[in-house]
Amino acid sequence: MRRPALALVTLLAAPLLSGPASSASPAQPAVVELFTSQGCSSCPPANAAVASIADRPDVLALSFGVTYWDQLGWTDTFGHPAFTERQWAYARRFKRDQVYTPQVVVNGRVHSVGNSRPLLDRLVRENDRRGGPSVALDDGTVSVGAGAGRAEVWMVRYDPRTLPVPIRRGENGGKTLPHRNVVRELVKVGDWTGAANRYALPKATQAGLRTAVLVQSGTTGAILAAAKG
């Protein structure tokens, strides 16, 4: 991976902030967020690794396209400034002064390059959530049960298909890169104060997308609970 001239990018060799061993469940899937770019030559292995766990019922895998590689000759077709800002917010949370691709964040608690299936399996296993509220999606609303703490409730809409993208320029020029579970919408729908509550979800603006919900301590704190439709 080459460092962009105007972006601060580093490659992390090992995961940080590991937590206690446990396991996720379909009712409370582990959230695996991939920050990636079509212009980054180091990203395809992480894209493939995250795609390989996307069908696990106990995992919610999400691919966020960032924008700071766009200046190197190829504009990411799925990139969005809000996703870049989310990654920077994680960098501040992890007390880092740089962002990097590929980056995987598991349950808002640990980050890594995430470029192999065994590594992702281990991160999910070792950084599970415990004690979060229940979450249920139902006909345009999400119900969050009672629990301890305060959090923000976020709606994510993502494309579950494998989407091949021909890359014409930049570090991956000439390649066709598959993308899976590409995030298209990320919207805060409310605040959770520990009491059971129900939140209305925005209507879908694009057909074929799936909906997920994150209950997260702050914009990029630990994810307390999650659900996928």
Main-chain phi, psi angles of 52, to 5 degrees: -70, -20
Question: Residue 4: inside a domain, yes or no?
Answer: no
- In whole angstroms, what is the distance from residue 144 CA to residue 161 CA? 28
- Domain count of the fold of the chain: 1
Judge contact between 132 and 222, C-beta under 8 A. Answer: no
Q: What is the mean pLDDT of residues 146-164?
A: 96
Question: Residue 104: inside a domain, yes or no?
Answer: yes
pLDDT tens for each residue of 9-54: 333 333 333 333 334 788 899 999 999 999 999 999 999 999 999 9
Lowest mean pLDDT of 1-5, 99-103, 149-153, name the range. Answer: 1-5
Main-chain phi, psi angles of 7, to 5 degrees: -120, 145
Structure tokens at 52: 């390989």
DSSP-assigned states of every residue in 30-95: EEEEEEE-TT-TTHHHHHHHHHHHTT-TTEEEEEEE-STTGGGS---TTB-HHHHHHHHHHHHHTT
Of residues 190, 182, 186, the one with CA closest to residue 82: 186
pLDDT tens for each residue of 44-87: 999 999 999 999 999 999 999 999 999 999 999 999 999 999 99
pTM: 0.89
Question: Residue 171: inside a domain, yes or no?
Answer: yes
Of residues 8, 13, 156, the one with CA closest to residue 91: 8
**Computed from CA positions of residues 19, 20, 24, 28, in that sequence, does the dihedral angle turn out positive or negative?**
negative
Mean pLDDT of the chain: 90
Question: Residue 198: inside a domain, yes or no?
Answer: yes
For residue 93, the enclosing domain spans 30-228
Question: Residue 17: inside a domain, yes or no?
Answer: no
Question: Residue 16: inside a domain, yes or no?
Answer: no
Question: Residue 199: inside a domain, yes or no?
Answer: yes
Q: What is the mean pLDDT of residues 155-172?
A: 97
**Computed from CA positions of residues 207, 212, 216, 222, in that sequence, does the dihedral angle turn out positive or negative?**
negative
Question: Residue 108: inside a domain, yes or no?
Answer: yes
- Torsion on CA atoms 18, 23, 27, 28, rounded to nearest 10: -10
Kindly state the percentage of the chain with pLDDT values over 70.
90
